[in-house]
Structure 1
Amino acid sequence: MPSPSSASPRLMRWLLIAAVIVAIDQFTKFLIVGAFQLGDVRHITDFFDIVRAHNYGAAFSFLHGASGWQRWFFLGLGIAAAIFIIWMLRRQGHQKAFAWALTLILGGAIGNVIDRAMYGYVVDFIQVHAAGWYFPAFNVADSAITLGAVLLVVDELRRARRS
């Protein structure tokens, strides 16, 4: 385990990267909110649209139709996850792939927490579709969380293979 004095600059680097992810996420959502009304769609390619959607739930609109309590639940869950991830980065920030995964998840979680705190929902705007099948709309924060989760699994599989 690294010394506490080496953990602080490393932690700051990971937090800076997470802040960049949050900034990109919030900037893209700001552009969408300014240019689109809820439900607007701009066709970009045969499989990709820019839309404005509001997600009151979680991944894949889980609990989207609940009575409102889910806003506070997911807001609290996001804050708790961010605190836990920062603690993990402080302790394990020297493990590059693991720290990258946590940093991507942290940036995405904070981006969506900001939306929930400000609006009560998450602004989604990326729509992927093919042959009449539509994947639920998502955003930069969701992409970062997904990429981080995949990297976490890959890192753990590599770690298991080595031992």
Structure 2
Amino acid sequence: MATKNRVVSKSSSSSSSLIPWLGIAAIVILFDQITKITVLRTFRYAEELAITSFFNLVLAFNKGAAFSFLSDQGGWQRYFFTAIALGAAGFILYLLKKHAGQRMFCWALALILGGALGNAIDRLVYGHVVDFLDFHWKSWGHFPAFNIADTAICIGAALFIIDELRRVNKK
């Protein structure tokens, strides 16, 4: 009987340690979706609003992956990238549960999870990802438009690299 109670308490303790990381992912998704809905209701497709000399808000749609990779395909990529995002989300949940005490690693994973699911929601609801952040610099042109989910994924990837470099340097 005592063994059974230990298993139960270990299980509930590991699920409760997931809650902060899932909360971070949920905040990313919420902020991402609110900003996208706001832009969709405020702008027409390709409409731009200059904010500074190097930054615009613009409504853009991306049917592909990062930098519009495969966006000119026949539509299969919508389901392919959605499946990849959902598979990655499952793997990230496994990693979060296994390494819940590693703060920077889990921050990175939570941000990537929120970003991946934010863009997956777009693909499922709209058939494309909604982008609206447009940075540019003089004659160098415009960086591809992106969104809050993409930003979270990039920050998460940077944290992941920093965490790994710190881990390697400790050895």
What is the TM-score normalised by the length of structure 2?
0.92
Which residue number in structure 2 is paired with residue 144 of structure 1? 152
- Equivalence for 1:134: 142
- Structure 1: 4+ residue segments shifted above 3 A: none
Q: Tell me the secondary structure at the aligned position of residue 134 of structure 1.
A: coil
- Specify every segment of 5 or more residues in structure 2 that has no aligned partner in the other structure, as ranges: 1-9
SS of alignment partner, residue 132 of structure 2: strand
Distance in 2 between residues matched to 1:148 and 1:7, nearest whole Å? 22
Paired residue type of 2:150: D
Matches within 5 A, 1:11-160: 11-132=18-139, 133-160=141-168
In 2, the alpha carbon distance for the partners of 1:151 and 1:6 equals: 26
Q: Which amino acid aligns with 2:129?
A: V
**Number of paired residues?**
161
Displacement of 1:129 after TM fit? 0.3
- Aligned-residue RMSD, C-alpha: 0.8
SS in 2 for 1:49: strand
- 1:46-70 residue CA offsets vs partner (Å, 9 max, x unmatched): 0000000000000011111111110
Task: Report the TM-score, using the length of structure 1 for normalisation.
Answer: 0.96
Q: Deviations over 1:2-24 (max 9, x none)?
A: x5443211101111111011000
| Matches of 2:145 and 2:14, distance apart in 1 | 37
SS in structure 1 of the partner of residue 134 of structure 2: strand
Tell which structure's C-alpha radius of gyration is larger. Answer: 2
Following TM superposition, by how much is the alpha carbon of 1:35 offset from its aligned partner in structure 2, in angstroms? 0.5
Identical-residue share of aligned pairs (%): 49
Write the distance in 2 (CA, Å) between the matches of 1:120 and 1:77: 15
Distance 1:23 1:69 in 2: 27
SS in 2 for 1:39: coil
Question: For the residues of structure 1 that align with 2:12 and 2:163, how far apart are their CA atoms?
Answer: 26
| Map of 2:4 onto structure 1 | none
Mapped to 2, the partners of 1:10 and 1:25 lie a distance apart of: 24
